[in-house]
Structure formats: structure tokens, C-alpha cells
Amino acid sequence: MAASTRDTDVEPTRTRRSASHTRLWGWLLLPPAAWMMAFFVSSIIIVVLLSFGHVGPTGRPVFGASGANYAALWNETYLSVFLRSVVYASLTVLLCLLIGYPVAYTIALHGGRYKNALVAALVIPFFASYLIRMYAWSTLLSDEGLVNQALRWFGLSEGVRFLNTPGAVVAGLTYGFVIFMVLPVYASLERMDLALIEAGKDLYHGPLRTFFAVTLPATRAGVLGGVLLVLLPALGDFVSAQLLGGPSTFMIGNLIQQQFFESQNQPLGSALTVVLMIALLVFMVFYLRSTDRQRRES
Amino acid sequence: MTTLDAAAASSATPSATTPVAPAPARRRRRSVEGRPRIAVAFTALFFVVLYLPIVVVVLFSFNSRKSLSSFESFSTRWYVQFFNDDALLSSLRASLVISGVAMVGSLILGTMLALALERVSSRPSRILGTTALVPLVTPEIVTGVAALLLFTGLGIKLSLMTVIIAEITFSISYVAVIVRGRLSAMSDDVEEAARDLGCTPFQAVRLVILPAILPALVASGLLVFALVFDDFVLAFFTTGVDPQPLPVRIYSQIRLSISPAINAVGTCMMLVSILLIAFSLVVPRLFGRRDSGLDLISGG
Amino acid sequence: GFSGGDATASASASGASASLAPAAKATIDGDLVYFNWAEYLDPDVLKGFQKEYGVKIIETNYDSYPSMMAKLSSGNEYDVVFPGSKEVAQLRAASKLQRIDKAQLKNADQVFGVNPYFDDPWYDSKSDYSVPFTMYKTGIAYRKDKVTTMSGSWNDMWNTSASGHIFVLDEADEAIGMAALKLGLDINTISPDDLAKIKEALLAQKPLLRGYSTDDINNMAGGNAWIHHMWSGDFLNLVNNTVKDPGNYEFLAPKEGTPLGSDTYAIPANAAHPGTALVFIDYLLRPENIDKNVTYLGYPMPTKSSAAAFAKVSEGHPACTVTVEDLGRANVFKTQTPEGKAARDAMWTEVKAS
Amino acid sequence: MTHPASGTPVPDDVAIRLVGLTKRFGGTTVVDHLDLDIRKGEFFSLLGPSGCGKTTTLRMIAGFSDATEGSVVLGGTDVTSVPPHKRNVNTVFQSYALFEHLDVAGNVGFGLRRKGLDKAEIARRVTEMLELVELGARSKSKPRELSGGQKQRVALARALVNRPEVLLLDEPLAALDLKLRRQMQVELKNIQREVGITFVFVTHDQDEALTMSDRVAIMNSGVIEQCGTPEDVYERPRTAFAAGFIGTSNLMTGTYSGGELTLAPGITVPLPGHPDLVDGSTTSIAVRPEKIWMYEFEPAMVRIAGTVVATVYHGATTQYLVDVAPDVRVTVLEQNLVRSRNEDRWADGDSIELGWQPDHAVVIH
Amino acid sequence: MTHPASGTPVPDDVAIRLVGLTKRFGGTTVVDHLDLDIRKGEFFSLLGPSGCGKTTTLRMIAGFSDATEGSVVLGGTDVTSVPPHKRNVNTVFQSYALFEHLDVAGNVGFGLRRKGLDKAEIARRVTEMLELVELGARSKSKPRELSGGQKQRVALARALVNRPEVLLLDEPLAALDLKLRRQMQVELKNIQREVGITFVFVTHDQDEALTMSDRVAIMNSGVIEQCGTPEDVYERPRTAFAAGFIGTSNLMTGTYSGGELTLAPGITVPLPGHPDLVDGSTTSIAVRPEKIWMYEFEPAMVRIAGTVVATVYHGATTQYLVDVAPDVRVTVLEQNLVRSRNEDRWADGDSIELGWQPDHAVVIH
Ligand SMILES: Nc1ncnc2c1ncn2[C@@H]1O[C@H](COP(=O)(O)OP(=O)(O)OP(=O)(O)O)[C@@H](O)[C@H]1O
Ligand SMILES: Nc1ncnc2c1ncn2[C@@H]1O[C@H](COP(=O)(O)OP(=O)(O)OP(=O)(O)O)[C@@H](O)[C@H]1O
Ligand SMILES: [Mg+2]
Ligand SMILES: [Mg+2]
């Protein structure tokens, strides 16, 4: 009887290197690892240690072992700053997603010949000074700035107060970080098999349904990456609130900066920094978990 | 007469004597037929908004008045002022030095890291390697605060050096990620082929691996240069008595009263970055790659 | 570095030795490391110095006095700084300044011996460690075309008819001082009761505010501000150099009194080139340079001959004038005890954060 | 009903009718006035070299691509401007295009859910279909946990479960390795017999097309060169392209004259039974290697002398390369019926005679 | 000279000797005590399914992987612990592994430069080698400008130009499409004949191994199942694995008794000429599909009755599936010598007789 065939197994990927080889590469790890230990890990440790210290009589920070700084943070004002920061950052992420996804989608799927040029056009503004762009926004949006002048000229409105509002802060953050959403989503759309979209339509899903049932899930990794890349800087930013914010738009970043450069209370600033790090760690763990699960499934 | 082997007629059989064009690679269609007008319009609007403040910066850099909200007439006085402003110029110089040194330093360390991460599979080294990637996901304000405390804690005077150290620490990860992406796309076989052809392990790196990752090095170098040049937060926390990096100077001006000379600075910076990007697009082509540095930046 | 415990002892020890050290001579001993607000001296004057003496000025800026203090205390070595009077007192107490030998300044007669106040000011006895620079006043700037209901009092900062268009300076002392004067309290108060009242007033003001900002000139010029808590020199800059319709802007010195202050030139104790710094200060005291700076900055200086220059820039805005006599009359920010400072900072942080 | 363009009514047993179907990209015509009827229940293959327009044709039938000219009639209805999600046609993609975020059952049920069937019914039909493709046990697996052949079967089930009028398959087996491909060919054919749905199958593997199809259309540069049963197109190729594209063919070109073809001076091949050929015309004939005999000739055979130049052992068959004239090399295939005893019948350099039945020499026009 | 492990001297004509060569990864043995002599100038193929250890064996010969046990002797010298760059062996990688930053000439000359030859000599040898692989005109091209077959030839030239004692080729043709693969097989074989270097060729394509090799080793799970000439391993497989892996084989298992094999009650196959078989033992025989006759039997033939269940037309051949007992299906291959006249000789369901010469039934141990 003819030899039977079975489904060939998916071939396992493997790395094949001899031991001596590995040792050689191991030495290469030494300088960068030493550098990171000396300048990054140790500095984070100092922040954590100092967060348990206090300000000495001469105004210098002193190490200690008291939780007073953390206790001080547990009051309504600081909590509301945290809450506000999280809300602003979340809104920013949402806006970046709502704006960034369609843009990435259009460039990736309908960019055609101009695709590379469009990506370049996307990146260029982000290499022009962040501060200057933010400042340009503040002049553009001011009550007698160009935007309001244009509105008045078209007779659309008697002037809108854009600047110095929570909306302006979130808009500034969105403007600043939307590229971190567009690029990973674009990359994942580029990697996606376009036949998937056709398969969705083939199976009786209209364009919109296909998008939600097929395209979006297929680019989940890019979206998650974008969310993380936007959330991290948005939560730590202090420039947008400073340049575009109003009296009640203080964020964690402003608070930390205030403690270090205005009040000169470094231990309290360190405690704030630690809390911020912990908050971000929670998001990171969540992200790693979900990507890890994806990887394990493959 | 000929023996027609399957479809000798269909395409010129790639005979050995006549050079043939590369086999028609299976193309993947990369676009969908029919353009949704709304999406295109939305994207166009997005680009308008994206460039609006930049247009304003460029426009007002040519304003004859100090005002940033009403344009009076064309003048180059702010460029003249910029090129006569020693403080601004020395800041520009400082920024260039910082970016240049940080670029070289992080390229060296980051490439080492990428090579090691790609090749070493032992557990402790992997943990070490992962730690080196943490700065990538740490908000700059945290890194900045930590660096400031580290330097003042160790009694190191803040200077250009401390800015450079902080910027390198922060950039290593970028280089490592980009170079590693290139390395992992490269088949192990290439290195083994070099060994097979008589290279020692070191020669294999020098003669084969480094040339192969050159485009990634160029791309990540330019990226780091641009990021560091524009970085404000880290520089703000770690700068000392030396001339302040440009972004820090801009920040201290913005907090008080800004001079339109800053718009001139911004316009110049943007010109430089456009040149850099164009360069990073072109350089890989010089090495004959179809992928460009931009793909690497965008993670494509 | 940080201290493992209290570092008072070592700090005061080094301070003592610094005060005993002989004052520097006014000879060029290197490039000048210059630490000041951004654009707070006429660039032409700086250029002239570099040209005349063949040295470079390495310029670094601060965006607030506290951040200047932070940088100084982190050990950075600057040759010349421009602290306010309160900061001079603080720095002198911490032995962070070098004594300035008046005999080294050829132009010392421009500022010393002119006003008794500056020969022995409250912040620096005998002016041993600082040289007077400018004098300023904090008042209220407003748009005459937008607001018509100004009362000439600090209550104008709570003027509901400009709601959403009022800015307060983003500085703890200035904001607290504003509220204190409105409430009839001492601007330097550290009493918990007073601070509670001030906090209440500041919080009550918040809904009317557009923001806290030190970018006063652009806030006014951009039209966002109708009423701005403002420094007198910035106001003159606004009307003289920035806006097309200076007639619409007015500066008001409230009747409860205004915070007044003066800035100084000083040389940090750890300066690497104190000789150049002395030459530089002497250069700045030349009458022609004083006139240039007064014109450029819009702030008066307590010198022999600069009154004419200031009169010219402040023409039509008499409220911007600051006289030495005013300075004598209180309303000057002073150094608080560490606890007092902490209480004021904490209160200010809470106001901004809420 | 009557077709608007052709004017002739579409017979009931026609599943797909293409009328003058044309596709141009920019200036280049990729599919050129295709006219084709595909019958209900037929296993129809489109065979052709890369870039000849097979995929484009399929995509116009599915509706992913708009026809530049002409029309597509499905089951009697003109669907030329109906969007893909409203056509009763399903596609099996070469890349499978499985939804990674859904499990096997979710993938298979994807189309049914849109049709508004109730849950129990969907579950029943999904289970039934998974049984058919022998994946009943894997319904909870994610696509990435499946092997290539299993993925292929999920893609098939996902399309078939909708009971489309027509199933389009674009090189569904191209990504599989040879052994698996053979196995899937048999399974695919069996499934098609079982469900009775019209299959339009795109491939560039001629063996695949020959063994599986009821009819084969050979496409080249956007036009159909020949369309017929596998035997038709293999045994009676109508063009040089068709002869060369399917299998191996010995193409001999010479001058025809009085029932003989002169390949080279003094070397002639008898070519009887072609009264239509004009004396002196340049004529080509194609003879399949397996149709050439090397001994035990039959009386009616055409005979020609040659020299063996190479012998290639393939296990089941042996291939001989024989020079019959300078520059005219003929491939002869011989089944190794008795190989293990006589070994190679000839050594390289031996002079032999070749023969074939006259009607196995197909004249190429 | 004497080999340390085996103790026997290595004959002059042996290029590679593997002695008890073993590789373990963790606990699993991937190559298991391989003993093998490969002769100088031989075209030697390692044939086996995926994962059987072919690549691992090759990598140990090249020196990229350390042997866990045993040794590798190259040209009489034990090289077991010599690093790869010091072994006089070169490799052609499946992925080609060309250096993208160098042009064709740069790639080919790479090894020579490492050897420190002078420039003129390098240029001369590179040109010569490029002529051999017929790429003389492309010496300034970059690898990415070449087609798959051309890349393959550059990889070959790059290895051959060093004049290694042995050339190792790891599935060098696997990435090429069928047509190109066929062509490269011929070219590769010709080049090997020309240069006379020992080739060790890894493949999992049995046709490739049969047509190209002087000798073939069939590997399975780290051991060599059979090693011999292509005819040897195809016509006289020694194990069921060998019979099944190369080509198609009809494996029939039954109980032996008095010259007959009983496949099912009442269904016996004559099995003469095996006096060594014990009565009552379970025995398997393998018969190749092309060795089975369906008519015109010869007198000495073994005959068995069956029913046709399927006929598959392949163009050059037709395949019949015939049931000779319940659950015993036999594949029969027939060359379509006269197809176009008689069409299918049998319809499905016809009862027919099959026959084969007794010595074509190979007893599998
Ligand atoms: N969107 C497009 N724009 C321009 N040309 C296209 C487009 N899609 C296909 N083509 C061209 O049309 C021709 C036919 O393409 P098609 O994909 O139909 O070929 P195919 O027969 O399916 O080939 P293959 O066997 O390689 O899949 C090709 O030359 C191709 O380059
Ligand atoms: N570095 C390694 N670590 C662990 N196992 C390995 C390693 N390299 C190979 N193997 C295992 O050894 C076995 C043989 O691998 P090898 O690559 O030699 O197979 P192969 O015969 O070349 O197969 P293929 O035809 O797929 O290339 C496989 O099961 C593989 O998983
Ligand atoms: Mg196709
Ligand atoms: Mg292998």
C-alpha cells in the first residue's frame, strides 16, 4: 500500500550556536550592561531611597527611612492631580487612537506610490523642536491669535477661548504624541495580510463591519504598542500643561518639576516620581502580559 | 528543434548565458482598490493641523515686529539677531556637541548590546539586556529626576558631560532596538558563510556583520542625533554651567518672554532635520537597500 | 553630595573659611560664566564687554529664582549671578557669595554713596557681598479697551468683569504677596492663620483666572490677558516694543501698596573667575552701560545718572516708577525660616494643584 | 433570463458566465475580453504562468476588483457592480487569510453569523463542516496552532460552510510542500464531489490541473489559449504555448513537403495524414516523450534514427535524450517496467531508432 | 595513516570518514553513531525527512557544530576539534547567505582574500570560476539584482573557488521553483563532473537524489537506513521506511506460508524464491507501481485479481488504484504510450488481473 503522508509538523525555530560562540558575545554585553548599571539602575535606586528622606535644615536633601513623603501625598490635592493626570493621559490615548488609526490606515492601504513620502512627512515635524511647536500652538490659539482671527473673519464666532483650558492641554499632548500611535499602527497594518480584508468582505461583511471584525483585531499588537507609547510620555509630561494649561490643569509632571525646582523639596519630588513609576509599571505589566500571551499562543 | 520543458515558451528560460532580470518576485498587493474619500480627507486635514504650527513658526520668523500674533511685514531681522546672539549660538554649538557625542557613544554601546542580546541566550544576560531596554518605556521626567539625583548625590558637577551621559543612557535602547531588528532579520547563515570562507569570529563581525547592519547604524545614529538635539527634559535636569543646550535655552525664554529669534532658530532646526531625514532616506539607497532608514524608524 | 545626616556643620565651616578669604582683584582671569534670566541685559553691552576684554561670556539662564537657587546649591560654578535681595540674604547666610571689595570697582561711585539705603541694605549689611542692580515693582497691567471697572486696588485681581482673562504671576512669593496685600496682611507672613486666609482668597480667585504664568508680555500681547499681575519693567517692554496699540494698556500700582524689590550683581563663593566677574560688574556700572540696560530692561536703577534714561522709557506710565524711598517702606520679600518657607510653598503648591 | 451584453439567455446549468471581461491597470491590459461559461458543479481550473491574469480574473468574479469592461453573470444574474459581500461566491485565499484572533470554529462560523442564522444552527453547520474536513477535534484551536494542511482545510471549510454557488480557489495549495499538496489534492477533489459546488481553481501547477479538473482553461497574457478536458489540452494542444506549458513536449520544426518534414538537410520525419499542409511551408509538430517508442515498433509507426546522448534514472521512469539531427534533441520517457533486470538498455552514444504513431504527432499552428 | 578511533587506516580514496559521529541536544540524540565513508570525487546525497539530522551532520562536518561523540576525518586528518575557518571544506547554504554589501566578484573572492592570495591571482581565479558558472557578465552586480538561480550559482562559485577537498550543499535548490530547480540540477551535476570535487548534498527531494547522485544515504531519526547507488536504494529498499520514502511503493503485509503470502482470508499472493522465510511468519513485500502489469503478462509472473476503484490521468502517465483485498489498495502506474486512441482501458469497478515478476516483489525486513 502506498506510503501514507501525515500533516508535516510546523518546523520548530531554533537557534544553533556553539558554546564558545556564546561566550564571545557574552563579553560584548559587559560594557553596555555596566553603563546601564552605573547610570540608570543606580539612579533609579537613589530616587527610591531619597523618597524616604527629608529636607535638611540647610535646604539639602537628607536620606532617611520615613514614609512621611508618601503620607503627605495622601491628601485630596495630590490625589486630584493624579486623577487629573490619568484622565488627561487616557483622553490623549483615546484621541491619538481615533486620529492616528485612520491616518495610519489611509497611508498604509491607500498611500500607493506616496506612501514613503507620507511617512516622511509624518516624521519631519516631530524632529522640529517640541517646545517651539507647543509655543507656536499657544500663539495660534490665543484669543487674538490666527485661529480666532480666522474664525472672526469668516464670521463663524466672536472668538473662542481655546487656550488655558483642559482641552488645550489634552490637545497639546495629542499633538505631541500622536506619531507614537500612528507609527506602530502603520507598521502593523503594513504587516497585515490584505487578503484578510477581502476574506471579511467575501464572508458577507460590509466595509465597516469588516474593519471592526477583521482589521482592528488583526492590528491589535500595533494598537497596544501605540497605547503604551502614548500613555508613558503623556503621563509624565509637564510642558503641555505649562504652556497651554490654565489655572486648574496641573499634572504630575508639573508637580514633580515644582518640587525639584521651585519648592526644592527633592525627597517629596522623589516620592512623586516613585508613585508615577509604579503607576506606569502597572500598565507595563498589563501590556507585557497581553503581548506575552499572544507570543505564547504562537 | 527544441525540447519544450514546461513553459519554455512562456518566458525566456533563464538560460545561463543570457543575463536575466531578477525572477519576477511574487508581489504582494499593498493597496486596496477604491479610496474611501472620507479617510483621505481626514488624513489631509490631519496633515494640515500637523503642519500649522510649523508654518506659523516659519512665517513669524520673518515678521518685522516682535509680535507673535500679527504679521506686519517681511524682514530677516530675527535671523540677523540669531546669528549675532552669542548665547543662542553657543547653545546651538553645545547642542550639536551633545548630540554628536551622544550619537557616537550610544551607537557603540547600543550596537554591542544588540549583538549580545541577539546572540546570547543565557538567563542572567537576558535579564541584563532587558534592563537596558527599560529607559525606552520610562517617562523622561523620571529619567531626568533620577539622573539629577545621581549626579548631585555623587557630587558630580553638572556640565555638558552630565547631559551627554544622561542622553547616552537614554539613547542606547533606541540603537539597540533598531540594530537588533536588523540583526534578527539577517540570516545566521551569513555569519557562518564567513567562517566557512576562512574568517575568525572577529573577522566575521568586521567583514560581514558590520557592513550588513550599516544602514541600521546610520538610521539609528540619525534618529538619536535628532532626538537628543530636540530633547528638553533630560537636558533641563542635567545641564550645568556650560552653555545650555538649545531646548533648555528656549524653555527659559518661553517661560518669560520669547523673542521671535526663537522662531528663526526653530526654522533652522527644522531645515536641518529635513536634511537629516532626507539623508537617512538616501543613505540606505547608497548601499543599495530597498528598505530605507525610515522603515527602521517606523518599525516597518 | 547629599548628607547622610545633617550637614549644617560642614556647610557653615566652609562658609566661614570663605568669608575670611581675601576678596578677589579686578583682573581678567578667564572667560565669564554668566548666570541670569534670559535676555536680562542688553546684548550690545555683553558684546562690548567681550570685545573690549577679549574674553568669552558663557551664558546660562534660569527661569525663576528658586531654580537659580537650586542650580547654585547643586554646586555649579558660576562667576556672576543676579540674585534678588531676598536671595542675596539667603546666599550670604549660607556663605555662598564672595565679598566684593569696592576699591576694585572704578565705577563704584555710581551706586554707592548715592542712596543710604543701598550703602547698608537689609539683605546685605554694608553691601559687602552684592552690588545693586535694578529696582522693580509688581503691579497690575490691564487692557483699557476691555476692562473699565478698575478700582486701583488689589481687589482688581478678583475683578469678575474680566473673568477668564486674568493671569497671576507663577511665583509663590508674588502670588502670596498679592493676596496678602489685598487682605491687609504682611507679604512675608508665615502665620498659619494668615496663610489659611490667603489660601482661601487665592482659591476664590481661581475660577476667575485664565492661568498662572510668568510669560506676562505675550499673555497681554496675545489678547488672552485683560488683567495681568505684572512686573513694571515687563509692562514697559510690552508697550514700547511689542504691541501696535500701546494706548490700550495701562499699569496700575494698587493703593494697598505693591511688593517692591531690587536685584543685585553678586559673585558666588565657588566662582572660578572672580577677577573677570569684578571687571564685568565694574563694566556694567559705567554710566553709558547703565543707560543702555535701563532702556533695554525697563527697570530703574539706583544710580547717579540713569534717571533720565528711565524717564524716557517710562514716559506716560508714572506708575512704573520705583524710587529708593519706596524701597525703604516695607513690602519687600524677605527670607523665611525653613519651616515658614515650607509652609508657604506647600500652600502655594496646593493652590496650583487643586 | 437574458444577458444584457451577450443578448443570449444564460442556460440553467451555467454557474458563471464571463462576457468580454477586461481589466486594465493604467495602460496595460491584464485580462483581455474573456468569454467563458463555467457549468454548475464543475471543477474548473485556470492554468497559466505567473502574471497571466488568473488572480485578476478571480478577483473580478469575487468582486474585489472592478471590471474595466464586460460583465460577470452569476447564476443568471449580472453581478458586475454588486459589492463582494453581497455576492453568493466564496474564496479560498492562497495565504489562507485566517482570522488569527478567532479559533477554528469562529473562523468557520464567521460568514454564517452575518447571514443571521441562529446560534444552534450555526454551531450545527460549523460542526458538520469541520467533520467533513476532518478537523472536528480542533474546533477550539487558534489558527497559529495548526499545520499548513490544517489551515488550508479551515480556509476551505470557512468558505464551503456558506454553501456558495461558486467557490473560488486561488492557488490554494501553492504554499504546501509536495507531499502534503498531493494529499490535499485528493481531499479537495473528494470534498468537491461530495458537496457538488462549482469550483473555480487557479493554479500554475499543470499536474494539479490535469489530475483534479473536469475542464482546464490555459491562460496566457490575459487571454485563454485553450479550454477543454485535461485529455483535450494535454493530448491535442492547439498552440505551441499550450503544448509547452503542460508537460514536456518535443517540438520539431522543419519544412513540410509531400508528407514529410525536413528538419535538417537529409533528415526527414514522416508526417502522413495532413493533406491541409502546403508543400514548402514551415511546420512544427509536437510529440510527447512518453509517446515515443524505442523498440517493438508497430507497423504503422513513423520511424527516425538517432543517437543516445544521456540517460537519467528517475526511479519509476528513465529519461533518454536522443539527438536526431544536429541541434535537434528529443526526450524519450520509458517506464521502468523491468528495470531491475536489464538495467540501461542503451549506453550513451548508441545509435537507435525512435518511433511514434502518426496521430501522436500534433501539428502546431 | 591510522584513524584514532576506528584503528583502521583511512584509504587514500576516502574524502570524508565519519566514525561513530553523534550529536545530542540536551537529552535528545539527533545524530546517532554515524559511520560513513565518502569517496573522493563522489556526488554523495543525504536524503531524509525533515528533522532527521541531515543539517546537523553537515554542520559537524563543516565545524559549525561540535560533535558530542565520534570524529570527523577529512582527507586522512582528524579535524573533529578544528574550527570551521581552518577546515578545507566549503558550504553552499540553503539561503545562499550571500554578502549583500559585496558584488558578485567580491563574494566569490571573499575566501581567497582571507587566504592572502595576491590580487591578480584572485581576480584570475574569480573570473575563471564565474565563467564556469556562466556568470562572467554579472561580476559587478549586487546579489539582490540576481535571480534565484543566479544567486545559487554565485553561492556555488564562492565555495568552489577555494578548491575545497569537499563541498557541502544543504538543500541548495529547495528555495527555487520547480522549473528552475530542474535546470539547476543539471547544471550542478555538470559542474561537479567538471571540477571533480567531492559533493555532499543534502536534500529531501527523492527525485533530486536519484537523478544526481553517485550514492545516496537514506537517513531517518539520526541513523542511516540504507546507503547505496540510486538503483540500489530504489529497486532494493531494505526497510519499509526506505521503500516508502523514495517514490511510491505498494506495501503488502500478510502471513507467509509455503511460497505464498496470505493478505486476507482467501486472498493470497504468490511469493516464490524465498526459502529463508519461515512458514507462519508475518511478512511484508513492496512492489513499485510501475512494475505492476495489467495485461500481456509474461509466463513467470505472479498474478493476483483486483477491482479498479479510481483512475487518475496525469498526462504522461495514468495512475490506477486497484483493491486486491479489503483494505489492501494497490497503485498501478501506466505510461500513456497510446492514450489518445484507446482512452481509459478500464472503468472504475472493473475486475482485472495484476501481475509482476517475482523478483520485483522486495521482501521488507
Ligand atoms: N493593482 C495592480 N496594479 C497594476 N498592475 C497589477 C495590479 N494587480 C495585478 N497587476 C498586474 O496584472 C498582471 C496579472 O496579475 P495577476 O495577479 O492576475 O497574475 P496571476 O496570473 O495571478 O499570476 P501569479 O501566478 O503570479 O499569481 C501582472 O502583470 C501584474 O503585474
Ligand atoms: N540547536 C539545537 N537545539 C536543539 N535541537 C536542535 C538544534 N538544532 C537542531 N535540533 C534538532 O535536531 C533535529 C535534527 O535537525 P536537523 O536540522 O539536522 O534536521 P534536518 O534533517 O536538516 O531537517 P530539515 O530537512 O528540516 O532541514 C531536529 O529535531 C531539530 O529540532
Ligand atoms: Mg495569482
Ligand atoms: Mg536541514
**Chain A nearest C-alpha distance from C335 (Å):** 13
Residues E268, E261: contact at Cβ < 8 Å? yes
What are B118-144's pLDDT values in tens digits? 877 677 777 777 777 788 878 888 999
DSSP line for D1-16: -B-TTT-SBPPTTEEE
Q: Report whether E202 contacts E60 (CB < 8 A).
A: no
Non-local (6+) Cβ contacts of B84 within 8 A are C43, C47
CB D64 within 8 A of CB D6: no
Residue type at position A213:
A
Q: Do chains E and C touch (3 or more CB pairs under 8 A)?
A: no
Per-residue cell: C35? 548666570
Chain centre to alpha carbon of residue E173: 13
Mean pLDDT of chain C: 88
Mutate to test the interface with C, among A63, A79, A264 (most CBs of C within 10 A): A264
- Where does the pLDDT of residue C266 fall: very low under 50, low under 70, confident under 90, or very high at 90 and above? very high
CB E164 within 8 A of CB E89: yes
Q: Contact at 8 Å (CB) between C18 and C95?
A: yes
Helix (H, G, I), strand (E, B) or coil at B238: helix
Q: Which three cell numbers stand for residue D98?
A: 485566517
Which residues of chain B are within 8 Å of residue E156 when distances are taken between CB atoms?
Answer: none
Q: Cα(D51) to centroid of ligand 3, in Å?
A: 7
Cα separation, D358 vs D344, in Å, equals: 27
- Asked if the model's pLDDT at residue C263 lies above 50, the reply is yes
**Cα three-residue angle A100-D93-A216, rounded to 5 degrees:** 20
- CA atoms within a 13 Å half-sphere pointing along the CA-CB vector of E341: 9
In three-state secondary structure terms, D341 is: helix
For the stretch A122-180, pLDDT in tens is: 888 877 788 888 888 888 888 888 888 888 888 877 778 888 999 999 999 999 999 99
| Residue pair A123/B294 in contact by the 8 Å Cβ criterion | yes
Lookup: cell for A124: 519631519
The C-alpha cell 481553481 sits at: D201
Pocket of ligand 2 (CB under 6 A): A 11-12, 14, 16; E 25, 30, 48, 50-56, 204
Identify the CA nearest to D188 among candidates D204, D217, D209.
D209
pLDDT, mean of residues C154-179: 94
Closest A-chain CA to D111: A203
Ligand 1 binding residues, C-beta < 6 A: B 26, 29; D 25, 30, 48, 50-56, 204
Q: Which residues partner with E200 through β-bridges?
A: E44, E168
Go through C20-39 and write b for each residue having 16 or more CB atoms within 10 A of its CB, e for each that does not.
eeebbebeebebbbbbbbbb
**pLDDT of the residue at A13:** 37
Q: How far is CA E28 from CA C227, E19, E328, in A?
A: 82, 20, 36
* Residue C296 Cα distances to C51, D146, D352, angstroms: 20, 77, 111
Lowest-confidence range among B18-22, C141-145, E163-167, E232-236? B18-22
pLDDT band for position D14 (50/70/90)? very high
State phi, psi for E14 to the nearest 5 degrees. -95, 120
- How close is the nearest chain A Cα to the Cα of E100, in Å? 22
Nearest to B294 by CA among B226, B228, B199: B226
The answer to whether B1 contacts D251, with C-beta atoms less than 8 Å apart, is: yes
Residue C13 has pLDDT above 70, yes or no: no
Q: Which amino acid is at D365?
A: H
CA A204 to ligand 1 center in whole angstroms: 25
* CA distances to A61, B80, C139, C238 from B75, in Å: 50, 10, 35, 21
pLDDT digits (tens, 9 = 90+) for C68-95: 888 888 788 899 999 999 999 999 988 8
- Helix extents (H) in D115-177: 119-132, 148-160
Give me the phi and psi of E142, to 5 degrees please.
-85, 150
Residue A14, pLDDT score = 39
- The shortest C-alpha distance from A70 to chain B (Å) reads 17
> What CA–CA distances, in Å, run from A156 to A102, A149, A151?
28, 10, 5
Report, in angstroms and rounded to the nearest whole number, the Rg of chain D calculated over CA atoms.
25
E344 vs A183, higher pLDDT: A183
Concatenated DSSP letters for E210-260? HHH-SEEEEEETTEEEEEE-HHHHHHS--SHHHHHHSS--EEEEEEEETTE
Mean pLDDT of C158-178: 94
Contacts of E113 (CB under 8 A, 6+ apart): E122
Separation of first and last alpha carbons in chain B: 50
Q: D39: which DSSP letter?
A: E
- The reported pLDDT for the residue numbered C11 is 37
Q: Which of A91-100, C14-23, E90-99 has the lowest mean pLDDT?
A: C14-23
Chain E touched by D336 (CB under 8 Å): yes
**Residues forming a β-bridge with E24:** E29
Res D287: pLDDT: 93
DSSP E263-308: EETTEEEE--S-TTSPTT-EEEEEE-GGG-BSSS--TT-EEEEEEE
CA distance B155 to D232: 91
Between the alpha carbon of residue E213 and those of residues D340, D342, E174, E210, E237, the distances in Å are: 18, 21, 16, 6, 17
Identify the H or E element spanning C308.
helix C307-313
Sign of the alpha-carbon torsion through A108, A110, A114, A118: negative
Number of the ligand closest to the Cα of E204: 2
Tell me the sheet residues that pair with C61.
Answer: C36
Q: Which of D268, E242, A118 has its CA nearest to residue B294?
A: A118
Q: Which three cell numbers stand for residue C95?
A: 556663605
Of B146, B274, B281, the CB nearest to A43: B146
Model confidence at B100: pLDDT above 90: yes
Mean pLDDT of chain D: 89
Average pLDDT per 10 consecutive residues for chain A, totaling 298 residues:
36 43 73 90 93 82 88 89 95 97 93 84 80 87 85 83 92 93 91 90 90 93 90 90 91 91 88 91 81 62
SS3 letters across chain A: CCCCCCCCCCCCCCCCCCHHHHHHHHHHHHHHHHHHHHHHHHHHHHHHHHCCCEECCCCCEECCCCCHHHHHHCCHHHHHHHHHHHHHHHHHHHHHHHHHHHHHHHHHHHCHHHHHHHHHHHHHHHHCCHHHHHHHHHHHCCCCCHHHHHHHHCCCCCCCCCCCCHHHHHHHHHHHHHHHHHHHHHHHHHHCCCHHHHHHHHCCCCHHHHHHHHHHHHCHHHHHHHHHHHHHHHHHCCHHHHHHCCCCCCCHHHHHHHHHHCCCCHHHHHHHHHHHHHHHHHHHHHHHHHHHHHHHHC
| Minimum-distance ligand 1 atom for the alpha carbon of D55 | 22
- Using CA atoms, how far apart are residues C305 and B98, in angstroms rounded to an integer? 45
At A10 the pLDDT is 35
C22 has pLDDT over 70: no
Please compute, for residue D165, the number of CA atoms within 13 A of its CA located in the half-sphere on the CB side: 20
pLDDT for residue B6 is more than 80: no
Cell 504677596: give the residue.
Answer: C177
Please answer yes or no on whether A62 and C6 come within 8 Å at the CB atom.
Answer: yes
Which percentage of chain E shows pLDDT scores above 70? 96
Q: Where does chain B show beta strands of DSSP type E?
A: 2-4
Comparing CB atoms, the residue among E64, E94, E97 nearest residue B190 is E97
DSSP state of B207: I
